[in-house]
Structure 1
Amino acid sequence: MDKVIIAENLSLAYSKDETIINKANFSIDSGSFVFITGASGSGKSTLLKSLYGALKPVEGSLVVGGVELRGVANSKLNFLRKHLGIVFQDYKLVKEWTIEKNIMLPLIINGYEKSIMESQVDSLLKHVRLKHQSGKYPLELSGGEQQRVAMARALAHNPILILADEPTGNLDDYSSQLIWNLLEGANEQLKTTIIVVTHHIPEAMKVEYKHYHIEFGDIHEVV
């Protein structure tokens, strides 16, 4: 099976004085579902940032989707990001845009035709059960609804990899379950690789998954 992520002796830090991730070695298969856990401040979000190039490795190698991220050029990083979907705990929606335009963002970046974008957005609004909120702006929605918009945006361009940072951390039970169902569906039906940073792995996961835990800068698989 192809590897979508390969880390070799990967070290991550925000300053020279404090290494967050220290000489980590791991790989993630294409099409897998992966949870990353760890205590607050252990480096979960730091690791996730490195996977979409927001934080560059200080040592070692990190290859995501065939792109080496240590010292990566902006052109290659932009190419990689066109194939990623990212879901943040605080949604990161553009407040001045309707939810349709927010979902359309990755399609705009990837240069899709207007008719294709409109059709895809309509389908995704139904998929995340927000068709009845069509035309609304993010701040007119509940937190759970905003996260469902963010999830639809992450799915819009059929990415090879979705990175989710505590995607259900602030949500009610209904929205949380819907987000998990959407992530599981993307993994099962589209074979999208899913990586989720979380404090708690849901008990009723329907898909097989791998579990990595971060502790004292070390990343190890939990079996």
Structure 2
Amino acid sequence: MDKVIIAKNLSLSYSSSETIINQVDFSISSGSFVFITGASGSGKSTLLKSLYGALKPKQGSLIVGGVELKGVSKSKLNFLRRHIGIVFQDYKLVKEWSIEKNIMLPLIINGYVKSIAQNQVENLLKHVRLNHQAGKCPLELSGGEQQRVAMARALAHNPILILADEPTGNLDDYSSQLIWNLLEGANEQLNTTVIVVTHKIPHSLKVDYKHFNIEYGSIREVN
């Protein structure tokens, strides 16, 4: 099975004085469903940021989707990000845009024909059960509804990799279950690699998954 992520001797830091992730080795196979856990401040979100190039490696090698992220050029990083879907804890929706336009954003970036993009957005709105809200702006929706929009946006361009940072952390049970169903569906039906940072792995998950825990700057797989 191909590796979508390979990290060797990887260290991550925001400053020269403190290393958050320290000289770790790990790999993630294409099509895997992976949970990353750890205490608050352990480096979970830091690691996730490095996987889409928002934080460059301080030391070692980090290859995501065949792209080496240490010293990566802007053009190569943009190419990689066109194949990644990201679900942020604070949604990061464009407040002035409609729900429909927010979901369409990655399709526009990826050069989809307008009719195909429109059809994809309509299907996703049905999946997240928000087709009746298409013309509304994010601030007109609840937090759970906004996260479902963010989830639909992450899935819109059929990414090879989805990165989700506490995607159900502040959501009601209904929205949480919808998010997990969508992530499971993408993994099982499209063979999308899914990586989720979370404090708690849900018991209801039906998909086989791997579990990495971060502690004191090290990453180990939990069996």
Measure how far apart 1:22 and its partner are: 0.3
Q: Distance in 2 between matches of 1:119 and 1:207?
A: 28
Alignment of 1:154 onto 2:183: no
SS at match of 1:201: coil
Alignment of 1:67 onto 2:76: no
SS at match of 1:28: strand
C-alpha offsets along residues 69-95 of structure 1, whole Å, 9 cap, x if unaligned? 001000000000000000011100000
Which amino acid in 1 is paired with 2:33? F
Q: Distance in 2 between matches of 1:188 and 1:132?
A: 27
Q: Distance in 2 between matches of 1:49 and 1:192?
A: 19
Q: Distance in 2 between matches of 1:121 and 1:137?
A: 15
Percentage of pairs with the same residue: 83
Task: Name 1:51's counterpart in structure 2.
Answer: 51
Q: Distance in 1 between matches of 2:174 and 2:100?
A: 22
Unaligned ranges ≥5, structure 2: none
Which amino acid in 2 is paired with 1:114? K
Which amino acid in 1 is paired with 2:108? I
Measure how far apart 1:102 and its partner are: 0.2
Task: Name 2:128's counterpart in structure 1.
Answer: 128
Q: TM-score, normalised by structure 1?
A: 0.99
Task: Name 1:220's counterpart in structure 2.
Answer: 220
Q: Distance in 2 between matches of 1:144 and 1:182?
A: 14
Unaligned ranges ≥5, structure 1: none
Which amino acid in 1 is paired with 2:77? L
Q: Distance in 2 between matches of 1:20 and 1:176?
A: 29
Task: Name 2:7's counterpart in structure 1.
Answer: 7
1:1-223 counterparts in 2 under 5 A? 1-223=1-223
SS at match of 2:62: strand
Which amino acid in 2 is paired with 1:74? K
Q: Distance in 2 between matches of 1:6 and 1:173?
A: 34
Q: Select between 113-122 and 210-219 the one with higher mean Cα deviation.
A: 113-122
Q: TM-score, normalised by structure 2?
A: 0.99
Aligned residue pairs total 223
Q: Distance in 2 between matches of 1:151 and 1:103?
A: 9
Measure how far apart 1:134 and its partner are: 1.7
RMSD between superposed Cα atoms in Å: 0.4
SS at match of 1:62: strand
Give the ranges of 4+ consecutive aligned residues of structure 1 lying more than 6 Å apart after TM superposition: none
Which amino acid in 2 is paired with 1:18? E
Measure how far apart 1:113 and its partner are: 1.0
Which amino acid in 1 is paired with 2:204? A
